[in-house]
Structure 1
Amino acid sequence: MRMVFRWYGEGNDTVSLEQIKQIPGVEGIVWALHDVPAGEEWPMDKIMAYKELADRYSLHLEVVESVNVHEDIKLGLPSRDRYIHNYQRTIEKLATVGVKTICYNFMPVFDWIRTDLYKALPDGSTAMFYEKAKVDSMDPQELVAAIAANPDFSMPGWEPERLRRLAPLFEAYKGVTTEQLWENLRYFLEHIIPVAESSDIKMAIHPDDPPWPVFGLPRLMTSQANLRRLLSLVDSPYNGITLCSGSLGANPDNDIVSMVHEFAGRIPFAHIRNVKVYDNGDFIETSHRTEDGTVDIAGIVRAYSETGFTGYVRPDHGRHIWGEHCRPGYGLYDRALGIMYLWGAWDAAQRERRERKEKSK
């Protein structure tokens, strides 16, 4: 298990590389060029600027999250080939600075959805919250206004240029069925994976967050069966999964431990976080500790140990604690605490594994 930490860049993150370097076991940053619009080829000078910063602190940048997929690709429009070409060139450029994994998603319009970015928890901390009844009844524009009311930090997946086109985007998706979206994903992968293979970069799709259709938009990466189908679209070790326990765990029917075992070898990158799911479908993000949520975090880490996982892991969304002013879900303190919980669970699982081997001799 190789621990990494998401970082939004100099001047765009409340957490510094100096602080990240001091978290035990963290070896690299998870990064992206957040100022480059989806579909555009990433400029080499901006890529190199990140490398120079990471090198200064002896941190690698082997994981990128995300090279965003343009909506025209998801919609299957004739213009998609131009954007796919830009994506291919970006993959080749990233290979030159040592990138090994690209996390991306194929969610129409919205990357992730929450109704409250700072919902209070009983202990006085705050966390991102999803209220199902509100989403089921609200106009998408209301949600956009709520997210835009957080002006201090950029919100990946909620870029202003995309949200300004919200009405025409929803109109465009009216004719896109779930099966058509699957075919558009297949087309994308058939053009991308050969370039990923030749560049030795593994593509790792992120599950939909939450893992069900929202606002009438189709969603694909929602279940174990659908992840299995994704891997069969292009059967290559370079077509993989970013297994996010929090996104998939919002649906208690999803067995993340089973997914780790089934998809071992096709998970180059994992997000490990916890959520507490309520009977009415609401959920809130919690600490990484198993007992604080609904997701069996300790069991998931044990499954990674049992399958000999050697991929990248990062703590995902954390709570906002100790008065920290930070991007929602991406402060320093709770994610650093999460890392130490994950290391503790990993060390215990590895010791248990070694002891079983000794006994079997």
Structure 2
Amino acid sequence: MQIGFRWYGEGNDSVSLKQIKQIPGVKTIVWALHDMQAGEEWPMEKILEVKRQADLYGFNIDVVESVNVHEDIKLGLPSRDVYIENYKKTIKKLAKVGVKVICYNFMPVFDWIRTDLFKEHEDGSTALFYEASKVNDIDPMELVNKIGNNPDYTIPGWEPERLENLMKLFEEYKDVNEEDLFNHLQYFLEAIIPVCEENDIKMAIHPDDPPWPIFGLPRIITNQENIRRVLKLVDNPYNGVTLCSGSLGSNPSNDIVSMVREFADRIPFAHVRNVKVYENGDFIETSHRGQDGTVDIVGIMKAYHESGFNGYIRPDHGRHIWDEKCRPGYGLYDRALGIMYLLGIWDSLES
């Protein structure tokens, strides 16, 4: 197991590499070029600059999260081939600086969705929260109109500039179903996996968050059966999954331990975090400690250990504790505590 820590870059993150260096066990910086738009080829000089920064503190940059997939690829439009070619070029460049894993997702329009970025826990900490009724009651076109009529209207987890084309995207996706999305993903994977194999970089698809359809849009990386299907679309070890216990764990019917055991040799990268799920479908992110949420964190780590897992793991979203001001879900303190909890479990299993 190799511990990583997500970092958003100098000037874009409240957490510094100097601080991350002081967390025991962290060897890998999980990074991306966050100023690049989906579909753009990444410039080599920007990639090298991240490597230079990481080298100063002795970190590797083996894991990229994410090289975002352009919507035209998800939609299966003829223009997708241009963006796939750019993706291939970026893969080749990343290989030159030692990248081994690319995490990505195939969620239409929206990435992760929450209704509150700073919901307060009983102990006074705050965390990302999903209130099911609020999402279920939203009419997608009403949402689009609100955004169009109010430039200050935002959605948790989404930058304003990413909302500009919502009307067009909803229209384009109205005839796209789950089967179409699987087919478009297969087309993408068939094009890039040979390049990944040639350059020794594994693709690791991230589950949908939350793992069910949102606003009438299809979502397919939602459960064990669908992950199994994705891995068979291109049955190659370079086609893998980023197994995220928090994303999948927001649906209590998902057996994460079983997934780890089944897919262990196809999980090059893992997110381990906890959520507390309520009977009405709401969920809130908690500490990584197993007893604080619904996800069997100890069982998951035991499954990784017994499977001989030697891939990359990072703590995922943390709470905001001790009055820290930070990017929602990505502060220093709670994620550092999460690492120590995961390492404590691992060390006890090793002994």
Give the TM-score band, short-chain normalised: over 0.9
Contact 2:276 2:284 in 1 (8 A): yes
Write out per-residue CA displacement over residues 257-312 of structure 1, whole angstroms, 9 at most, x where no aligned residue.
00000001100000000000000000000000000000000110010000000000
Shift in Å, 1:149:
6.2
Q: How far apart in 1 are the matches of 2:270 and 2:122?
A: 28
Amino acid at match of 1:136: N
User: What pairs up with 1:120-139 in 2 under 5 angstroms?
Assistant: 120-139=120-139
Amino acid at match of 2:188: F
Amino acid at match of 1:251: N
Write out per-residue CA displacement over residues 34-59 of structure 1, whole angstroms, 9 at most, x where no aligned residue.
00100000001100110000001110
Contact 2:257 2:299 in 1 (8 A): yes
Corresponding residue number in structure 1 for 2:320:
320
Corresponding residue number in structure 1 for 2:96:
96
Give the secondary structure class of the aligned counterpart of 1:264. helix
User: What pairs up with 1:18-167 in 2 under 5 angstroms?
Assistant: 18-140=18-140, 142=143, 158-167=158-167
Distance 1:22 1:148, change over 3 A: farther
Give the secondary structure class of the aligned counterpart of 2:266. coil
Shift in Å, 1:350:
2.0
Write out per-residue CA displacement over residues 161-180 of structure 1, whole angstroms, 9 at most, x where no aligned residue.
33100111000000101101
Q: How far apart in 1 are the matches of 2:274 and 2:138?
A: 26
TM value normalised by structure 1: 0.93
Contact 2:154 2:160 in 1 (8 A): no
The count of residues paired between Structure 1 and Structure 2 equals: 347
Write out per-residue CA displacement over residues 135-170 of structure 1, whole angstroms, 9 at most, x where no aligned residue.
00024465996996679xxx8x62433310011100
Write out per-residue CA displacement over residues 232-276 of structure 1, whole angstroms, 9 at most, x where no aligned residue.
000000000000000000000000000000001100000000000
Large movers: runs of 4+ above 3 Å: 139-151
Corresponding residue number in structure 2 for 1:2:
2
Q: How far apart in 1 are the matches of 2:252 and 2:67?
A: 29
Q: How far apart in 1 are the matches of 2:154 and 2:182?
A: 33
Distance 1:323 1:223, change over 3 A: same
Give the secondary structure class of the aligned counterpart of 2:264. coil
Corresponding residue number in structure 2 for 1:169:
169
Q: How far apart in 2 are the matches of 1:35 and 1:115?
A: 25
RMSD over aligned Cα atoms = 1.7
User: What pairs up with 1:225-304 in 2 under 5 angstroms?
Assistant: 225-304=225-304
Distance 1:148 1:294, change over 3 A: farther
Distance 1:350 1:313, change over 3 A: same
TM value normalised by structure 2: 0.96
Give the secondary structure class of the aligned counterpart of 2:124. coil
Q: How far apart in 2 are the matches of 1:59 and 1:159?
A: 29
Corresponding residue number in structure 1 for 2:345:
345
Shift in Å, 1:28:
1.4
Q: Which consecutive unaligned segments of at least 5 residues does structure 2 have? A: none
Q: How far apart in 2 are the matches of 1:92 and 1:120?
A: 44
Corresponding residue number in structure 2 for 1:354:
none
Q: How far apart in 1 are the matches of 2:270 and 2:338?
A: 14
Amino acid at match of 1:332: L
Q: How far apart in 1 are the matches of 2:6 and 2:73?
A: 26
Q: How far apart in 1 are the matches of 2:269 and 2:100?
A: 10
Give the secondary structure class of the aligned counterpart of 1:128. strand
Distance 1:149 1:161, change over 3 A: closer
Q: How far apart in 1 are the matches of 2:143 and 2:187?
A: 33
Contact 2:271 2:315 in 1 (8 A): yes
Contact 2:318 2:334 in 1 (8 A): yes
Amino acid at match of 1:221: I
Give the secondary structure class of the aligned counterpart of 1:281. coil
Distance 1:150 1:342, change over 3 A: farther
1:195 counterpart = 2:195: yes
